Amino acid sequence: MTKADMVDLVYEQIGLSKRESARIVESIFDIIKETLEQGENVKISGFGSFNLQHKKPRRGRNPQTGEEITISARRVLSFKASNVLREQLNP
Amino acid sequence: MNKSELIEELENRSDLNLKVSETIVNLIVDNMKKALFDEDRIELRGFGSFHIEYYKAYTGRNPKTGELIQVSEKRLPFFKVGKDLKERINQNGSK
């Protein structure tokens, strides 16, 4: 499944134009991206949640050269499937 | 942000009313769930991708009581963050 499939779904089932359907699908994922970018988690009930995790800086090594490097503080995104989805996948 | 807030924001940014915004968000979420159920990979450029992974059954323990429990085989969706989103998250990440 890709964005194009989602655009087709909106086009066929809602009756918007192809162009408008594409704009709407794009908007939905833009909103989620912007929210996460601002540091806020996103929870879609019945599906799952996108959670930001803050990683502290740490010492690491370049595995190829063995050189010591500092891995800077970063935010990483994790997804957790909701209990409803977990149960649906494992009946 | 939860799903209702996402729906409201979609209404704000489009010419759709709240009811249609809700119908569209639910349509997309339901079809994403269906895709995962059918083990169809979901690939959203700039956002990320979802796929299903299998876990074997194992004997675990309840961490509180120490009691042994059988955890049965299961499948779970995994999300891999896309390049664009990964970079955008980290631009503000070092504060």
Q: Do B28 and A40 touch (CB under 8 A)?
A: no
Strands (E), chain B: 42-44, 48-55, 58-61, 68-71, 74-81
Q: Please list the residues that pair with A77 across neighbouring strands.
A: A52
Provide the whole-model pTM: 0.87
Query: What pLDDT, on a 0 to 100 scale, did the predictor assign at position B44?
Result: 96
Query: What pLDDT, on a 0 to 100 scale, did the predictor assign at position A9?
Result: 96
Cα A33-B85-A61 angle, rounded to 5 deg: 145
Helices (H), A1-91: 3-14, 18-37, 83-89
- Which candidate, B52, B54, B57, B56, places its Cα nearest to that of B42? B52
- Give A23-77 pLDDT, tens digit per residue: 999 999 999 999 999 999 999 999 999 999 998 999 989 888 989 988 888 899 9
- Give A61-76 pLDDT, tens digit per residue: 988 898 998 888 889 9
Q: Do B24 and A31 touch (CB under 8 A)?
A: no
Chain B residues in contact with A1 (beta carbon < 8 A): 31-32, 35, 40-43
- Give B44-66 pLDDT, tens digit per residue: 999 999 999 999 999 999 889 98
Confidence bin at B92 (pLDDT 50/70/90): low
Confidence bin at A86 (pLDDT 50/70/90): very high
B 56-75 residues with CB < 8 A to A: 72, 74-75
pLDDT at residue B94 greater than cutoff 50: no
Instruction: State percent of chain B over pLDDT 70.
Output: 96
